[in-house]
Each structure stands twice: as C-alpha cells, then as structure tokens.
C-alpha cells in the first residue's frame, strides 16, 4: 500500500528578492539561447501557467524538443526532484541542463558568460546584486532558480476550502474531491502539490500500454522496474496546462482523468464521476505569482 500524505494548502517560499528579480529578467531573455530567439519563457510562459500549449516545444534553430512535454515551472520549487524522471536534484541544476540542452537553448557556459558580460545592463545589475565585476554562469543559474522559488500559486479555491472556508467549493466540486479520495487518486497525487513527491509507473494496471517510453526513471537508475516510471506530476493549475502526460499525448483533462482510472487504478470511471473530478481539479487554479504582476515591479 502506498502511504498518502494529506493535501495541504500552498505556503510561500522565502527567496532573495533582488536575485529573483534579476532571475526574472534572465528567464524572459532570449539572449540566453544559441540563436538569440528562445528564452526559458518560450516553453514556460505565464500565458500558459508556466508551461506551453504544445505537445512538444520548439527550441533553438527550430528544433523540436522531443520526446517530453513541457511541465509548468509554477510550484516546481516543491518538486522532490526536477524533470519527469528526476534527473536534476534542484532548480539550479535543472536550469544548467536547460541552458546546455541541444534542443532547448543550445548554450555552453563559456558562450553564455561572454554574451552576458558584454551587456551593460547585466554588468550593472550583477554588480549591484552580487557585488561582482565579472558574471560567472553559476550566478545566472542561481538567479533563475531564485526567481522560480517565487512562482508559487497561492490561494486557489481548494486551498481556501482546506483552510476552513467551506463555501469556497460548491457541492459538485466537493463531490469531485470526495471521488478523488475514494477512487484512490490521492494515493499518488497528495501533499501540498498533489503530486511531485514520488515516482510511479504509468500503467500499473495495463500490460501493453500504448504510449511512447520517454525519458523515464529507467534512464536515471537503469533499474528494469523503473521503465515507464515518472515523477507524479503536480495537479496544481492543471486546468491550464494541456496537453497532458509526459509525452503530451492527451489533449483534455477529462481524457487524462479517464486514462488515469484505466492505467493506474485499473477501473473504468463512470463519465459522470469523471466530470465531478474535473470540476474539483479546476478549483486548483491559484493566483498568478506576485513577482509576475505589474505592481511588484514598482515596489522594488
Ligand atoms: C524548448 C523548450 C524549453 C526551454 C527553452 C526550456 N525548457 Fe524547461 N522544460 C522543457 C521540457 C520539455 C521539460 C521536461 C523535460 C523532461 O522532463 O525530460 C522541461 C522541464 C523543466 C523543469 C522541470 C519541471 C518539473 O516539473 O520537473 C523546470 C524547472 C524547467 N524546465 C525550467 C526551465 C528553465 C529555468 C529554463 C531556462 C534556463 C528552461 N526550462 C528552458 C522545455 C523547455
Ligand atoms: C499509482 C499512482 C497514480 C494514481 C493512483 C493516479 N495517478 Fe495521475 N499520474 C500518475 C503519474 C505517474 C502521472 C504521469 C503520467 C505520465 O505522463 O507518464 C500522472 C498524471 C496525471 C495527470 C496528467 C498531469 C500532467 O501534467 O500531464 C492527471 C490530470 C492525473 N494524473 C490525474 C489523476 C486522477 C484524477 C487520478 C484518479 C482517478 C489519478 N491521477 C490517479 C500517477 C498516478
């Protein structure tokens, strides 16, 4: 039996504001890529709740970023590890890998340092924030990771419900939450992120799963039992981050719920119940992080 930790409301993470604001600028700047066209935000856009709306993202020089679907960077600070297969330990290590990735930004640290050190705006800002005259790549990644700590989507209706505001959910949504628990979704999607705290197999109950094996946990551990195993994704803001699954093969939330029943619970969830669960999942959309809102800039 899996141990299901309870679902808890999100709480802000403390971060260094100066570093985070610098990280924000870098996150949105295509100068970080080999062709000066792709930024982190190209694939992790606030318009799509920190993800994009494509099955596979487009990286530098028009390269298709296969075989994995871009996850949201919102609430990624709570991930036990980064990437679908957890090959990065933390946000900083993840940012390094994204910058170096052939399909994503296609950069080396040497080229990155050369470019950033030739830009007066960055020279001045790194001097102000870190007191350095020469910008090392490490500080670029450090700043981006600090920015990502600020991307917590607080105060969704479900969190308000958990905190005691019983009117924050309507009856249908409460029923959806109830079904989420009794069907057993909560055995994997639990904790403050409703997921992102364990690795589980896609298709426990299906022998010949008709889905492509991507960068699974096997690629990290080389254990046979880790084939088709992925980090359980968070369900926060899930209504805004279609398409779904590690390979982006599932277009709608309804279909994802249905398939989860089939693949990971071994049941056919009645259509009506799928709709209740969908209604519940829609209550997990939180507020846009403060650092992405206009008023925050004025405070600094
Ligand atoms: C071309 C598209 C693309 C670009 C550019 C890109 N990413 Fe990603 N990102 C992805 C994809 C696809 C994945 C999932 C890959 C995997 O798990 O194998 C991912 C994964 C992540 C994750 C892990 C989230 C999780 O739930 O595990 C974080 C954090 C992240 N990216 C941040 C960044 C940052 C920071 C940058 C810029 C330095 C960046 N990305 C640039 C497409 C992109
Ligand atoms: C045994 C563990 C387990 C159970 C039980 C489970 N899930 Fe999942 N869920 C996963 C894993 C692992 C993935 C990632 C699948 C992939 O793409 O490889 C996932 C993916 C999802 C996704 C897509 C998320 C995304 O960002 O693409 C949704 C939505 C989802 N689950 C909802 C549910 C619902 C609703 C239930 C109950 C009906 C449920 N899950 C039961 C482990 C589980």
Regions of the chain where pLDDT drops below 50: 1, 298-300
Tell me which ligand sits closest to the C-alpha of residue 94.
Answer: 1
Ligand 1 atom closest to Cα of 81? Answer: 27
Question: So what's the pLDDT on residue 18?
Answer: 97
Q: How far is the CA of 20 from the centre of ligand 1 (A)?
A: 18
**Two structure tokens written together for 154:** 């607080």
Q: Which residues line ligand 1 (CB under 6 A)?
A: 38, 40, 42-44, 57, 59, 65, 68, 70-71, 73, 76, 79, 82-84, 91, 94-95, 98-99, 104-105, 144, 215
| 194 touches ligand 2 (CB under 6 Å) | no
**Two structure tokens written together for 236:** 């926060």
110 CA to centre of own chain? 28
| 184 touches ligand 2 (CB under 6 Å) | yes
Question: So what's the pLDDT on residue 300?
Answer: 44
Question: So what's the pLDDT on residue 209?
Answer: 73
CA-nearest residue for atom 2, ligand 2, is 188
**Ligand 2 pocket: which of 189, 239, 254, 276 to mutate (most atoms <8 Å of CB)?**
189
CB 159 within 8 A of CB 10: yes
Cα 200 from Cα 300, distance rounded (Å)? 42
CB 230 within 8 A of CB 217: yes
Question: So what's the pLDDT on residue 206?
Answer: 83
Q: How far is the CA of 160 from the centre of ligand 1 (A)?
A: 30
CB 188 within 8 A of CB 200: yes
Cα 106 from Cα 270, distance rounded (Å)? 46
| 74 touches ligand 2 (CB under 6 Å) | no
Tell me which ligand sits closest to the C-alpha of residue 254.
Answer: 2
CB 153 within 8 A of CB 289: yes
Question: So what's the pLDDT on residue 233?
Answer: 98
In 3D space, the residue among 136, 56, 137, 144 whose CA is nearest the CA of residue 95 turns out to be 144
Q: How far is the CA of 70 from the centre of ligand 1 (A)?
A: 6
Question: So what's the pLDDT on residue 3?
Answer: 55
């Amino acid at each position: 039996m899996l141990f299901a930790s309870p679902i808890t409301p999100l709480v802000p993470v403390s971060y260094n504001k100066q570093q985070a604001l610098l990280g924000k600028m870098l996150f949105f700047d295509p100068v970080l890529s080999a062709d000066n066209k792709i930024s982190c935000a190209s694939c992790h856009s606030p318009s799509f709740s920190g993800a994009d709306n494509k099955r596979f993202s487009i990286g530098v020089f028009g390269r298709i970023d296969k075989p994995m679907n871009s996850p949201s960077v919102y609430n990624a600070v709570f991930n036990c590890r980064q990437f679908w297969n957890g090959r990065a330990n933390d946000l900083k290590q993840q940012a390094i890998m994204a910058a170096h990735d052939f399909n994503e930004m296609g950069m080396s640290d040497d080229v990155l340092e050369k470019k950033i050190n030739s830009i007066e705006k960055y020279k001045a800002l790194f001097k102000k924030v870190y007191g350095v005259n020469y910008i090392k790549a490490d500080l670029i990644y450090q700043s981006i990771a600090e920015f990502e700590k600020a991307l917590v989507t607080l105060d969704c209706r479900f969190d308000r419900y958990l905190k005691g505001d019983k009117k924050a959910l309507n009856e249908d949504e409460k029923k959806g939450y109830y079904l989420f628990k009794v069907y057993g979704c909560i055995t994997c999607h639990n904790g403050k992120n409703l997921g992102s705290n364990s690795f589980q197999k896609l298709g426990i109950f299906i022998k010949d799963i008709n889905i492509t094996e991507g960068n699974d946990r096997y690629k990290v551990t080389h254990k046979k039992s880790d084939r088709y195993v992925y980090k359980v994704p968070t369900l926060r803001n899930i209504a805004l981050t279609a398409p779904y699954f590690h390979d982006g093969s599932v277009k709608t939330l309804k279909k994802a719920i249905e398939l989860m029943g089939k693949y990971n619970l071994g049941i056919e969830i009645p259509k009506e119940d799928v709709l209740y669960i969908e209604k519940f999942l829609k209550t997990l959309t939180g507020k846009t992080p403060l650092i992405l809102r206009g008023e925050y800039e004025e405070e600094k």
